[in-house]
């Protein structure tokens, strides 16, 4: 995630692939979700919106941050209806998750852009 934040996609891909390889034998749900989340975020940065949406759909759907990024991917691939619904879910998230504080404003802004 740090490499991705710095814009170093090559390092982000390498770290993500290494993590996916390490996680595969154990199949711990949280770790599998994180693998899909990181792959989805990398695809989102590459503007491969279909892959991003596919990967994020396999990430933790109870994480408003994942929902927000999924809405961005859906918007990018041209599915405005799904993007609106997913952005609404992220903006109006009702659960105990600290990530909500980080994405609520962004999700509401995205929802406003989607109409």
Residue 98 belongs to what domain range?
Answer: 2-114
So what's the pLDDT on residue 101? 95
pTM: 0.93
Average pLDDT, the chain: 96
Q: Which residues contact 34 (CB under 8 A, 6 or more apart)?
A: 19, 23, 59, 60
Percent of the chain predicted with pLDDT > 70: 100
Give CB contacts under 8 A, 24+ apart, made by 56-62.
Answer: 58/32, 58/33, 59/33, 59/34, 60/30, 60/33, 60/34, 62/95, 62/97
So what's the pLDDT on residue 88? 97
* Distance, CA of 52 to CA of 74 (rounded, Å): 8
**Model confidence pLDDT, tens digit, residues 46-90:** 999 999 999 999 999 999 999 999 999 999 999 999 999 999 999
So what's the pLDDT on residue 14? 97
CATH number of the domain residue 36 falls in? 1.25.40
Total domains, the chain: 1
* Banded pLDDT at 115 (limits 50, 70, 90): confident
């Amino acid at each position: 995630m740090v490499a991705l934040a710095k814009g170093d996609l090559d390092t982000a891909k390498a770290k993500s692939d290494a993590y996916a390889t390490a996680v595969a034998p154990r199949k711990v749900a949280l770790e599998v979700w994180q693998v899909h989340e990181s792959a989805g975020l990398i695809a989102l940065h590459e503007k491969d919106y279909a892959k991003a949406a596919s990967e994020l759909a396999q990430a933790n759907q109870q994480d408003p941050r994942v929902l927000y990024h999924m809405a961005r991917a859906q918007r990018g691939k041209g599915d405005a209806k799904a993007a609106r619904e997913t952005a609404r879910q992220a903006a109006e998230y009702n659960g105990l998750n600290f990530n909500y504080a980080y994405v609520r404003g962004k999700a509401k802004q995205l929802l406003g852009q989607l109409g």
